[in-house]
Amino acid sequence: MDDRQRYDRATAVLEPPFAILDLAAMRANAADLVRRAAGKPIRVASKSVRSRPVLERILAMDGFRGIMAFTLPEALWLASHGFTDILVAYPTADRHALAELAGDENAARHITLAIDSTAHLDFTEAAVAGVSPRAEIRTCIDIDAGYIAFGGKFRAGVLRSPIREPDEAADLAAAVAKRPGFRVAGLMAYEAQIAGLGDDPPANAAYTRAVRIMQARSARDLILRRGRIVNAVRQITDLEFVNGGGTGSVERTVREKAITEVAAGSGFFHPRLFDFYRRFTGHPAALFALPVVRRPSVDTVTVLGGGYLASGTPGQSRLPQPYLPAGLHYARDEGAGEVQTPLLGQAAQDLRIGDRVWFRHAKAGEMCERFDALHLIDGDTLVESVPTYRGEGRTFL
């Protein structure tokens, strides 16, 4: 029985649109992440999962420890449900959430906030000024892991922190140490130009070679620079953790002695954008089904909805992938639509009204913003339906 038959059989009682999670595929992906991490713990990036019960399943597996959250309200909510060791990996400017954190000793014990300047400390102090008694706030210094070459004329990587050099990180750590009610718990640096950029893209050979050269040089730069930054900060304060990497760079990042843990999230679901890496091969685990509602021609069908575009630079790479049956593609002048999506190809000839077409999202957790539930499939059996964040009435962005 192929995957399409399994999914159709397992979900026969459901009416599309809906989303599924193939548990066997997710377990295989998780096991491969643990193998690649070579003994270092993996912090689970919640933005790539966005389902509390699924996070619980992942953290129950060996090799995973802690959450990398994307907002402070999310972290507070997770802490209220028993999650611990939560790193909010993006700075917050939410005054109400900061006041709630400062007034909750238990939450403050388990939540760490990313900062990259004293302005974050100033903002937080103002937000919690009326809180008494006030819990100590744990911070994590976010380091710029981007790659810069040719005297600054070339840059690869996301625009995040202004902190790049050891002295800058040490100065910020010292500033935190001087502020009553704050302390540095860790450091983090996300090398998006390696972890989030496939080194085997469907592009011309020259571009692929350029990506690989850039990534190799960036990795060498990070080994030295991140190590020096960690040493400089350790002269100021103890560190509980040094976090780095992501799904696409796990085996590279763990080689650095300075790194105590890596992050991963997309690797559990293995969305479309993660097909283009040489170092690992994942199993598509999260999919959504849309029903066929029209047959405009013999080799064309139309499905309901489908315009679930991923964030990032607009383009074909941000569209969901028509996955099963294989061989379908978008109409060039329509793409993925808000209400309906035409799909072309020989595979359309065998589809009838009411049949399902299975899609993969370009990214991982963003799919869950479209659906209230993930239906968990094991083999050809629907074993459980669990809520997404949206299904629990939680929207954190």
pLDDT in tens, 80-118: 999 999 999 999 999 999 999 999 999 999 999 999 999
pLDDT value at residue 315 = 83
Taking only the tens place, the pLDDT of each residue in 21-35 is 999 999 999 999 999
- pLDDT grade, residue 41 (50/70/90)? very high
- pLDDT grade, residue 313 (50/70/90)? confident
Nearest to 275 by CA among 325, 317, 212: 317
Mean pLDDT, the chain, integer = 96
Mean pLDDT value of segment 362-378: 96
Taking only the tens place, the pLDDT of each residue in 146-156 is 999 988 899 99
39 has pLDDT over 90: yes
Nearest to 197 by CA among 86, 116, 313, 95: 313
Q: How many CA atoms lie within 13 A of 144 on its CB side?
A: 17
pLDDT value at residue 47 = 97
pLDDT value at residue 24 = 98
- pLDDT grade, residue 40 (50/70/90)? very high
CA pair distance 100, 210, nearest whole angstrom: 47
pLDDT value at residue 202 = 86
pLDDT value at residue 316 = 86
CA pair distance 230, 170, nearest whole angstrom: 9
- pLDDT grade, residue 252 (50/70/90)? very high
- pLDDT grade, residue 394 (50/70/90)? very high
Taking only the tens place, the pLDDT of each residue in 196-250 is 998 898 878 999 999 999 999 999 999 999 999 999 999 999 999 999 999 999 9
- Sorted by sequence, the CB contacts under 8 Å of residue 107 that are 6+ apart come out as 75, 76, 79, 80, 100, 101, 135
Mean pLDDT value of segment 161-169: 96
pLDDT value at residue 340 = 96
Q: Which residues of 85-109 are buried (b: 16+ CB within 10 A; e: fewer)?
A: bbbbbebbeeeebbbbbbbbeebbe
Q: What percent of the chain has pLDDT over 90?
A: 91
Q: How far is CA 254 from the centre of its chain?
A: 18
CA pair distance 190, 114, nearest whole angstrom: 12
Taking only the tens place, the pLDDT of each residue in 117-131 is 999 999 999 999 999
- Sorted by sequence, the CB contacts under 8 Å of residue 134 that are 6+ apart come out as 102, 103, 128, 181
185 has pLDDT over 80: yes
Beta bridge partners of 155: 148
CA pair distance 290, 359, nearest whole angstrom: 8
397 has pLDDT over 80: no
Q: How far is CA 81 from the centre of its chain?
A: 21
CA pair distance 110, 49, nearest whole angstrom: 20
373 has pLDDT over 80: yes
260 has pLDDT over 90: yes
- Tokens 């309906």: give the residue: 340
Residue 292 contacts residue 303 (beta carbons within 8 Å): yes
- Sorted by sequence, the CB contacts under 8 Å of residue 248 that are 6+ apart come out as 194, 195, 196, 197, 198, 274, 277, 279
